[in-house]
Amino acid sequence: MKEDIKENCWEFMRCGREPGGVHAEELGVCPVTTEVSADGLNGGVNGGRVCWVIEDNCCRDALEKIGRSKKSSCMRCEFHIRVKSEESILDLCNTIGKYLTEIHPVEALY
């Protein structure tokens, strides 16, 4: 049985800020893509499916620099909505809660 492949934010948003991405050398690698402490959360690679809680995520700046608009809040982002639709609300809350309280305590970005 083929395992479902879950997209990471850089694949969904096509920002090119992942290591080796088309904008990585010019604009820098986004910390979300290298946040190993978040690896596997919501089935993503590094912070790829919990990007909205990763400290120093450069999403707004990154998307604006490549001519795309970013929603005023990560809560309105198409990718966040997509992850919410793919994960059970209980799993999503547990995953984010665990990350923020145990793995890498940071202030939420929203």
Tell the smallest beta-carbon distance from residue 6 to ligand SF4 (Å): 14
Q: Which of these, 87, 12, 16, 10, lies nearest to 54 by C-alpha position?
A: 10
> How far apart (Å, rounded) are the C-alpha atoms in residues 22 and 101?
34
Q: Which stretch binds ligand SF4 (CB under 6 A): 15-23, 35-43, 81-89, 100-108?
A: 15-23
> How far apart (Å, rounded) are the C-alpha atoms in residues 3 and 14?
23
Q: Which of residues 31-60 bind ligand SF4 (CB under 6 A)?
A: 32-33, 51, 57-59
Q: Which of these, 76, 85, 67, lies nearest to 109 by C-alpha position?
A: 76
Tell the smallest beta-carbon distance from residue 2 to ligand SF4 (Å): 25
| SS3 assignment, position 18 | coil
Residue 83 binding ligand SF4, by CB under 6 A = no
Q: Which stretch binds ligand SF4 (CB under 6 A): 7-15, 38-46, 82-90, 92-100?
A: 7-15
Q: Which is nearer to ligand SF4, 1 or 39 (CB)?
A: 39
Backbone torsion region of residue 14, taken as left when φ is above 0, otherwise alpha when ψ lies between -120 and 50, otherwise beta: left
Q: Which residues bind ligand SF4 (CB under 6 A)?
A: 9-10, 13, 15, 17-18, 30, 32-33, 51, 57-59, 62
